[in-house]
Amino acid sequence: MRGRYELCLSEAILTETAEVLLSKPSVRRYATYADEDVHAFICWLLTQAEMVPDTPAPSVVPDNPKDDPIIASAVSAKADYLLGREPINLPRGRLASVRYAPIATNFRGAAK
């Protein structure tokens, strides 16, 4: 995974990922996996990602405050892109350099 793009994660993101995969019934209905698979996936992510420190989350996503730690991780990582399923309206200021891109985006064509 390391190369042109780098995956940056924080403990908060890994914790939420594990919690969702282990306890959200809608996710469990979508895919069949054992709890051990989740733990192995989190361990694999730790080998692939640059870990950034958890920082106080700015309140920037009023519609979904659970996204604030993700934004804080992007800021901590000095990320160029923030990938996600749903668009997030990022405020100007210290987040101006972070661009949102849908997960399916071809980055060569991503506009600034």
- Domain borders along the chain are 8-79
Find tokens 């071809």 and name the residue: 106
Q: In angstroms, rounded to a whole number, what is the distance separating the alpha carbons of residues 75 and 61?
A: 14
Does residue 109 register a pLDDT over 60?
no
Residue 52 in contact with residue 73, Cβ under 8 Å?
A: yes
Least confident segment among 33-47, 52-66, 67-81, 92-106: 92-106
The structure's pTM equals 0.73
Percentage of the chain beyond pLDDT 90 is 33
Work out the number of other CB atoms within 10 angstroms of the CB of residue 1. Answer: 10
Q: Which two tokens stand for residue 71?
A: 């934004």
Residue 1 binned pLDDT confidence (cut-offs 50, 70, 90) = very low
Does residue 54 register a pLDDT over 60?
yes
- Residue 107: the pLDDT is 46
- Short-list 20, 11, 5, 1, CA closest to 82: 5
Residue 68 in contact with residue 57, Cβ under 8 Å?
A: yes
